[in-house]
Amino acid sequence: MTQGQIRALLVCPICRGQLCFTDLKAICRRCGQDYPVRGEVPVLIAPDSPFHSPPPPRTARGEGRILPPSVRRLLISYVNFNPPLTIWLDRSLFRHLNQCTPGLRILNLGSGVGLFDHILAPHLQPINLDVQTQGRVDVLADAHALPFPDESLDGIFSNAVLEHVQRPWRVAEEIHRVLRPGGKVFINVPFLNVIHDTHDYFRFTDRGLDILFSRFRKIDGGVSGGPSSFLAPFLVEYLLYFVPGQYLKGLVQPLLRLFVWPLKYLDLAIRRNPNLRIAADAFYFVGEK
């Protein structure tokens, strides 16, 4: 969708009134609340949202120190070295999502840096929504108050987002509200995982996920990440407890990541185990309104 098409769809997240856009702001015609526009991206986050003033992006340790540019770049690259420690055991979530027909209004709720954009079918062209300007974001908004009219979207895809919201049940209600009858939801959430963000509040079992989206007819669901995908991040954090000092931790952590990253492949040996859900890393849910 073009930015113009997206703007025509957006409403005030507080009262759901129509928005009037200028180059610098969006103004609600009903309640008068105004929202900034950064570049071409509307920032439709209500003042009472915990994401109204997002924290500044994290920087590598030592970045602000006076070092030669080449050394500083090398240090930043080393400290930020983060090979993927998890593996998808079941990508059925993406298979269902990619079966959506062209032209549908699909929301990528919590689009992030676009880590999984390459898996999405080219014809989807989703609306990318997040709380921070990163990746190819189209609109900044809080999932607790989505800036879309009732029954205006055809599908919502969300990967590893619901653990970062303070009221996931409220977000589930918002997802149900903005989806049209017959619209589909595609959700992936962690179960076993280390705390990995300032806004990190919840974990979900597969049955808990079913209850959270009980207003939807379940189409598919199951384990998307196995126990070994949790084991590697856990070991990194656990072993860091024995390393004194923040600077030394920053130097050791990339080495630990490199050491444990192959552990994720152990999941391939146990992927058929019927008890895999007991210690799963993540679950997925596909439902229809």
**Sequence ranges of the domains in the chain:** 3-44, 92-229+263-288
- pLDDT category at 80 given cuts 50, 70, 90 is confident
Q: Which two tokens stand for residue 7?
A: 């703007």
Whether 132 and 161 have beta carbons less than 8 Å apart is answered as no
What is the distance between the alpha carbons of residues 78 and 74, in angstroms, rounded to a whole number? 6
Q: Beta partners for 34? A: 27
Whether 130 and 140 have beta carbons less than 8 Å apart is answered as yes
More confident site: 117 or 201? 201
Maximum distance among all alpha carbons in the chain?
A: 58
User: Between 3.40.640.10, 3.40.50.150, 3.40.50.300, 3.20.20.70, what CATH number should domain 92-229+263-288 receive?
Assistant: 3.40.50.150
Positive or negative: CA dihedral 60, 66, 69, 75: negative
Q: Which two tokens stand for residue 256?
A: 């630990």
Section 55-66 average pLDDT: 47
- Which of 62-66, 153-157, 202-206, 224-228 has the least mean pLDDT? 62-66
Q: What is the pLDDT of residues 233-276, one digit of tens each?
A: 999 999 999 999 998 998 999 999 999 999 999 999 999 999 99
Section 38-65 average pLDDT: 70
Flag whether the pTM goes above 0.75.
yes
Written in H, E and C, the secondary structure of 196-228 is: CCCCCCCCCCHHHHHHHCCCCEEEEEEEEECCH
Which CA distances in Å does 151 have to 91, 142, 147, 250?
Answer: 27, 18, 12, 47
The CATH class of 3-44 is mainly beta
